[in-house]
Structure formats: structure tokens, C-alpha cells
Amino acid sequence: MVKLMLEGFGGDRRRKRNEPEPDPQSDPYGIECYHVNARLSRDLEDIGEFRPAKVLLLLWYCLQAIWCRFRYGVDTLYYVPAPGKRSALFRDWLVMTLCRPFFKRVVLHWHAAGLAKWLETHTQMRTRAMTYRAYRDVDPSIVLSSYNRRDAEKLWPKEIRIVPNGIPDPCPNFETGVLPRRRARVAARLKLLSGVGLTPGEVQAAGGDPHIFKVLFLGHCTRDKGLFDTMDGVALANAKLAELGIPIRAQLVVAGGFMHEHEQAEFEARLAAQNQLVLPGFPVATVPGQPESVSALVGARSSLPQFTYIGFVSGAAKASALRDADCLCFPTYYHAESFGLVIIEAMAFGLPVVASNWRSIPEIVPPGYPGLVQPRSPKQIADGIIKMLTFNDAEVLRARFLERFSLEQYLKGMAEAIRSLDKPGVAHAAAVQSRPVV
């Protein structure tokens, strides 16, 4: 998100110091960014872990930020605070102690959640006092949702602004390339649920496999992101569908990287133990002139893996996974989960979502959304998957993405929050980032 903001505001001015000043009339935001990419971790496993070398790196990044203050006249420090983790909190103390005295204003942008509760329940008074001293009385605190206000409120900012995350539209061809297939698959499943046969044309329009309900898990493959609850939920859903005699089965596609070897080993063991899924035949309507082989192919009993792992995906592979799926399952209860960008990515594709009622997630989906489940509830996940078999509001999800979570809305909200510090002048922001730019 910091990278998107930086690019949206014209990029790092330190890298463009030989270029002319931007034309105010062609710049819709009027914000100059001087970016310090404070990358401390080498990979996912290294995030939040202490290494002495990180302290030296952090000191170097702080010196760069202070240099920007005097070299370019930057007077506003933008910073992303830590989640509730001790090593990350110590890092923030150091940054605020060294940098804050040099800047007239500080903007905190709360990407993670849970710091306020963690301070109250897992730390001593001295830790809380140090944190309040570092963070209190910042100019605006920017949060992602109403839920996230409590972290900012705990530290007494002068102002709190809510700016939801937004992303570039990952599915610009939704109307022509995605929506017709979604409609065809829902229509085919409705017929199968009512016992009505499908014509070969309907089977083809639905992708050739309308009796397979494709559930996608996309994200870090960890227990607290909901990976194993999703696997249990899919298995329970298939058992219930078989018990009811419904000729539809759910198949889980897992996309993402593993952060812990023991969880990867557990996942692979479950793949070996629970991976045989028998697909029942389904009725096919007879169409004059249609070859019999087509009817025999789609109506025969067969089998396929119940769980499939496709590894880490990005770019075109990620878009393909979201386009081909029938449902996203994201039953997270991760301690620092704040927003769930993967949910708005799914909504951009009109993809139904089964997600946990956790942190900001209920504010992302439409009001009264039927796909919310309680954390650590595989049975509710199974029921949610079965509900999504007939969910036909792809256009509603897509419209909510465009209205609330587009990149344009995000940049507009961030610009208004930053520019409010120094009207009518131009705000200068030095971005010291608390996590790697991806």
C-alpha cells in the first residue's frame, strides 16, 4: 500500500532530483514524497525476528530521514506503526526517538491491528508508558476502518481519519470476460440442485465442470490465516453434499507460501490422507444432433484431488486463480490482521467470499453479507460454502469494490488526510516504511 501511495503521488522525489518540479495543474494531489525504504527483513520468516544487523540498518534509515528533513525541507514524517509484537515495538521506539524531534508533524498510518489490546494485556506499565511517549499527539492518525480506530485512540492523536485501502482494478474486463462465466456456473448449479439436466451448451458455458465448486484459499499458508480450517470446512461441505445426494463437490485450491516448516509438513500429510474426492455423475439433457460422447463424458462418475496446492502466485497467475474460482475462503484470525486486501481483490472479480467475522472484515463486505463465519469454525465454513453454491450477486460485489476500494478512492483519501496538515500549501512527506515494499 505504501508503494501504491508513493507511485500515485508521483514517486520518490529523491530519485527525480534532476527533473523539473511537477506542474501543479497536472498534479491532482500536490504532495511530494521523499521515500526511505526501511527494509529490515530478508524474507517472510525473518519478519519480526531480532538480528543485531537490523539495528544498524534502522539507524542508517533514520539518518536518511533526518537528511531529507534538512536537505529538502521536508517537515512531515509518515510512518507505519508496528503490530503487537515486542521486537517491532522496540524498532518504533527507536525511530520515533531519533526522528520525531526533527519533524514538525508526524502522520501514523495504521496498517496492522491489535496494538492497543496487546499493550493492555501483554505488557508492563513501563512498556505502555514508552509507547505512549513515542506515539502520542501525532497530527493525524490514519486508520483503515472504524474497527481500527481503537489502536489510534489509545495513543491520543490530534485527529483520526478513516481511509480504506484501495488497489488498481485487477479485473478491467469483468463485464465481458468474467461475469458471463459466473452467471453460467450459478445457473448450472441451480439446475443440478433441482435435479434438472444440463444441455451440453450449458455445460460448456459453465466451463465444462459445473459440478465442481472451486474454493480458493489465497494468502500466507498458516494456521491463523485459516488454512487448516478451510481444509476442514471443504471436507465437511463435501460430506454434507454427498449425504444430501447433491451432484456437486467442492475442490480447494491453495495458493500462497508457507512461513513455517511444521505447518507445511502438516499440510502435505493431509494432502496425502484426505485427497481422494469422488465426483458423482449429473443429469445431462438430450439435445438432437449432439454427439452421445459429450453426454457420456460429463455424466460419468470420476474422481479428482479434494485439495490442490499451486504455490505462490502473482500477476497473471493470481488473476487467473481469482477468475477461475467460484468462492474465496479467508477465515483468518491472524493476530495482526487488519483489513484483508485479498477480499477486495476477490470482490473486484465478483467472487463470493466466505470470511471470518474478524477485525475490519465485516466493514469490507456489503451490509448483511451471508458469507461471514466465526473464527476457528470449520462447520460454519462448510455451511458458508454450501450457501455460496447459489450466490448470484457478483455485480453487487464488483460495484462495492469500485465504489469504496479502488486505487483512486485510496489516493484521494490519503491526499486529503495529508494535505489537511498544511493548507493551502503543499505537504511534504518523508516515508519511513515499517515493512518491505513489495
**Where residue 122 sits, what CATH number does that domain have?**
3.40.50
Q: Do 154 and 49 share a structural domain?
A: yes
More confident residue, 207 or 438: 207
Task: Please report, for the domain that includes residue 231, its CATH number.
Answer: 3.40.50.2000
What are 245-275's pLDDT values in tens digits? 999 999 999 999 998 999 999 999 998 887 7
Residues in the chain: 438
What are 308-318's pLDDT values in tens digits? 999 999 999 99
Over residues 143-164, the mean pLDDT reads 90
Q: Do 204 and 272 share a structural domain?
A: yes
Q: Do 141 and 275 share a structural domain?
A: no
Q: Do 207 and 62 share a structural domain?
A: no
Q: Do 375 and 329 share a structural domain?
A: yes
Residue 223, in any domain of the structure: yes
Sorting pLDDT into bands at 50, 70 and 90, what band is 113? confident
Residue 437, in any domain of the structure: no
- E-strand ranges in 7-75 read 31-36
pLDDT > 90? residue 385: yes
Q: Do 183 and 62 share a structural domain?
A: no
More confident residue, 419 or 142: 142
Residues of the chain above pLDDT 90, percent: 62
Residue 34, in any domain of the structure: yes
pLDDT > 70? residue 298: no
Sorting pLDDT into bands at 50, 70 and 90, what band is 142? very high
Residue 438, in any domain of the structure: no
Residue 278, in any domain of the structure: yes
- Give the domain extent around 218: 174-403
Residue 389, in any domain of the structure: yes
Its pTM stands at: 0.86
Q: Do 156 and 79 share a structural domain?
A: yes
| Domains identified in the chain, total number | 2
What are 28-52's pLDDT values in tens digits? 888 899 999 888 776 655 565 667 8
Q: What distance in Å separates the CA atoms of residue 20 and residue 11, rounded to the nearest whole number? A: 14
Q: Decide: helix, strand or coil at residue 233.
A: helix
Q: Do 160 and 203 share a structural domain?
A: no
Q: Is 180 exposed, middle or buried (0-12, 13-18, 19+ CB in 10 A)?
A: exposed
**Pairing mode, strands 307-311 and 302-305:** unpaired
Q: What angle do CA 159, 165, 167 make, to 5 degrees?
A: 150
pLDDT value for 28? 81
What are 66-86's pLDDT values in tens digits? 999 999 999 999 999 888 888
Residue 267, in any domain of the structure: yes
Q: Do 200 and 83 share a structural domain?
A: no
Q: Do 304 and 231 share a structural domain?
A: yes
Cα–Cα distances in Å, from 35 out to 153, 339, 389?
A: 27, 24, 46
Beta carbons of 8 and 407 less than 8 angstroms apart? yes
Q: Do 211 and 112 share a structural domain?
A: no
Q: Do 140 and 127 share a structural domain?
A: yes
pLDDT > 60? residue 432: no
pLDDT > 60? residue 392: yes
Residue 238, in any domain of the structure: yes
